């Protein structure tokens, strides 16, 4: 069974991580989910855990198995690394190699041959910001594939590019990279 390691960060669209987890699990993938502190303000680990049927990981300092280093194990067993939704903050941190929480620390430990997908979601002006575009360019140079945000009426009331890609588009990208779940 192939494992998708899903990182969820603090965007209003974090609730869509539940649907992504559900779809991938139903397809037959094992889905390991990591949530940032901010992501947990938008959706609970309990929701995600109930859909993935697996422990949800939230804290780099919590070691469920004393025999293992959790963030290294999560990275090692990932056949694909996906961040959806990816906040401006996590994109900035990953582009600069910052490792100050579980998601950003684990990201650094992902093996180079493992496909890495990133699905940004944010206000359209945040997305267009030169610092954001610079950071995305760096991530693409580092081997990340961007799953482009959609143009839509955003939660903040602005219309423009910044809405998280559809669950179908995200799942399709996973399938394109991994093929079958087994
Ligand atoms: C209601 C609300 C909605 C937010 N939506 C987004 C968003 O869609 N994208 C984003 O990049 N940040 C958004 N933020 C800001 C992030 O949550 C904030 O930058 C946070 O530090 C991100 O932390 P993380 O990257 O560790 O998850 C939102 C904040 C609030 C209060």
The 80-86 sheet, strands edge to edge? 56-57, 30-35, 3-8, 80-86, 116-120, 144-146
The pLDDT assigned to 123 comes to 96
Protein residues whose CB sits closer than 6 Å to any atom of ligand 1 = 9-13, 36, 38-39, 87-90, 121-122
The pLDDT assigned to 180 comes to 86
Cα 34 to Cα 103: distance, rounded to the nearest angstrom: 6
Confidence of residue 181 (pLDDT cuts 50, 70, 90): confident
**Ligand 1 centre distance from Cα of residue 135 (Å):** 16
In this prediction, residues 93-102 reach a mean pLDDT of 98
**Ligand 1 centre distance from Cα of residue 85 (Å):** 10
Q: What is the pLDDT of residues 7-64, one digit of tens each?
A: 999 999 999 999 999 999 999 999 999 999 999 999 999 999 999 999 999 999 999 9
Q: Which of 6, 10, 124, 126 to mutate to test the pocket of ligand 1 (most atoms within 8 A of CB)?
A: 10
Query: Within 13 A of 60's CA, how many CA atoms are on the CB side?
Result: 15
- Catalytic site residue 4? no
Helices (H), the chain: 16-27, 39-42, 45-52, 70-76, 88-95, 102-108, 124-128, 130-141, 167-178
**Ligand 1 centre distance from Cα of residue 88 (Å):** 7
With contact defined as beta carbons under 8 Å apart, do 119 and 85 qualify? yes
Q: What is the pLDDT of residues 114-127, one digit of tens each?
A: 999 999 999 999 99
Furthest-apart CA atoms within the chain: distance in Å: 49
Q: What is the pLDDT of residues 143-174, one digit of tens each?
A: 999 999 999 998 888 899 999 999 999 999 99
The pLDDT assigned to 158 comes to 86
- Taking the whole predicted model, whether its pTM rises above 0.75 is answered as yes
């Amino acid at each position: 069974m192939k494992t998708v390691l899903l990182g969820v960060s603090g965007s209003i669209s974090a609730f869509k991580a539940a649907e992504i987890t559900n779809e991938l699990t139903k397809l037959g993938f094992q889905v390991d989910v990591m949530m940032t502190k901010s992501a947990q303000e938008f959706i609970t680990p309990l929701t995600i855990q109930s859909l993935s049927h697996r422990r949800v990981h939230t804290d780099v300092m919590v070691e469920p198995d004393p025999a293992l280093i959790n963030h290294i194990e999560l990275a090692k067993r990932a056949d694909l690394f996906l961040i959806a939704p990816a906040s401006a903050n996590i994109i900035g941190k990953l582009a600069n190699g910052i490792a100050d929480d579980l998601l950003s620390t684990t990201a650094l430990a992902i093996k180079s041959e493992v496909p890495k997908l990133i699905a940004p979601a944010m206000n359209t002006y945040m997305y267009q910001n030169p610092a954001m575009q610079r950071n995305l360019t760096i991530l693409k140079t580092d081997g990340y594939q961007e799953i482009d945000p959609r143009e839509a009426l955003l939660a903040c009331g602005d219309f423009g590019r910044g809405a998280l890609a559809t669950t179908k588009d995200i799942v399709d990208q996973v399938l394109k990279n991994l093929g079958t779940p087994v």
